[in-house]
Amino acid sequence: MRKILILGASGQLGSELIDKYLVDPNNIVYGMVRRSATGNFNNIQHNFKNDRFNLVRGDITDPTSLNNLLKEVQPDLIINTAAQSHVHVSFEQPILTSKVTGLGVLYLLESIRQFSPQSRLVQLSTSELWGNSKAPQNEKTQFAPESPYGVAKLFAHEMCKLYRKSYNLNISCAICGNMEGPRRGREFVTQKIVESAIKIHLGKQDNLKLGNITTKRDWSSVHEIADGIIKLGNSDYREEFVFGSGRTNTIEEFARLAFNVFNLDYQEYIQIDDEFKRPSEVYELKADSRKARKLLNWRPTKTLKEIVQEMVDAALDREFVNDK
Ligand code: G4F
């Protein structure tokens, strides 16, 4: 049996990876989650009765829990999706973000080095590393992060490379563009737009307040990004790989598509509010993932319209369930 440890198990990507790994009967999956007063198991509780799924308590900022976990489990593969991943929040909580998103990865690397050096690690890096370097961006593009989140991720990224080189550890970093799907948190712009379009359509909301809607993002389906990460985890490459759709669209275009589902004109409802603008912004992300396509045979196919429709359908289901 192959033992796979997912850090950040209750998040959008972590939970998606758990679902996909559990399909293979040869995998045992350990999902690490932080203790919280309310518990947030919505994305993973459907796996609780699966004998091959183990929910483990731990925190990437707590070396004791990491050390004990790695000593005991000795995972074959570790995928680190744990992070304070909200860019705007990282300006409000830069120290917390640096601890979780940056320093946490160093704790993990130390734990691997000392207690489970045979484990393969795939670290989730981000297209935020590029900041405003010219699009399209690939593995060779200069890093120039524009947020405390981006800087913390860059620290993590470089530490992974350093530990791989210095201690011959089996590490790859997946530099991923924006990934979207039904489990996307509602504080990210895509889910906020989708849920607002539905509420406006149902007469429960009057308008949608957004920050900068001219920025451009490379939005992929989270299902397809997860497929890419699984391919990378299964491979022998100890290198960096970029994953993204290769498209770039403005926030305004995403809003147009989401409101179109309900035959609404987004322009009538969107209000620009400085509260949602960031002190520093990344203007255009467009991933050049030719390396992953060629070496890992990764083939994303979902259109942006399909991604929007999937999110709308899932959010509509939630809306009506909540109504009951
Ligand atoms: O949805 P966002 O918050 O995602 P962002 O900042 O691109 O970060 C996401 O993708 C990264 C990969 O590129 C990940 F590393 C990161 O963890 C996260 O998943 O914002 C997208 C854009 C930004 O330009 C933002 O300024 O939308 C703009 N925006 C405009 N109004 C808004 C809003 N963003 C949010 N969250 N909320 C708004 O009201």
Per-residue HEC secondary structure of 89-155 comes to: HHHHCHHHHHHHHHHHHHHHHHHHHHHCCCCEEEEEEEHHHHCCCCCCECCCCCCCCCCHHHHHHHH
Whether 60 shows a pLDDT value over 60: the answer reads yes
Average pLDDT (242-252) is 98
Residue whose CA lies nearest to ligand 1 atom number 32: 189
pLDDT of residue 319: 81
> Does pTM top 0.95 for this prediction?
yes
Active-site residue identified among 97, 101, 128, 224? 128
The letter for the amino acid at 157 is H
Residue 40 — pLDDT band, cuts 50, 70, 90? confident
Query: Is any ligand 1 atom within 6 A of the Cβ of residue 147?
Result: no
**Is 126 an annotated catalytic residue?**
yes
The finding on whether 215 has its CB within 6 A of some atom of ligand 1 is yes
Average pLDDT of the segment spanning 237-263: 98
322 has pLDDT over 90:
no
Helix axis angle for 304-323 and 251-260, nearest 10°, is 60
Q: What is the distance between the alpha carbons of residues 284 and 254, in angstroms, rounded to a whole number?
A: 14
* 178 ligand 1 Cβ < 6 A: yes
Phi-psi region of 263 (alpha: psi -120 to 50; beta: other; left: phi over 0): left
Residue 300 has pLDDT above 60, yes or no: yes
Give percent of the chain above pLDDT 70. Answer: 98
pLDDT above 80 (res 215): yes
Ligand 1 atom nearest 277 alpha carbon: 26
Whole-Å CA distances, 197 to 134, 161, 243, 308, 313: 32, 42, 29, 11, 12
Q: What would the mean pLDDT of 162-168 be, rounded to a whole number?
A: 98
The pLDDT score that the predictor gives to residue 38 is: 65
pLDDT for 324 beyond 50: no
Please check the confidence at residue 164 and state whether its pLDDT lies above 60. yes
Can you spell out the DSSP letters for 23-37?
Answer: TSTTEEEEEEE---S
Provide mean pLDDT across the span 26-40: 87
Average pLDDT of the residues of the chain: 97
User: Is residue 212 in contact with ligand 1, taking CB distance under 6 Å?
Assistant: yes
> Has residue 58 got a pLDDT over 70?
yes
The yes-or-no answer on residue 149 being catalytic is yes
Q: Report d(CA 119, CA 111) in Å as an integer.
A: 11
How many angstroms separate the CA atoms of 16 and 313, rounded?
Answer: 18
Mean pLDDT of 174-178: 98
Looking at residue 323, its pLDDT comes to 56
* 267: pLDDT strictly greater than 70: yes
Rounded to an integer, what distance in angstroms lies between the CA atom of residue 290 and that of residue 243?
Answer: 9
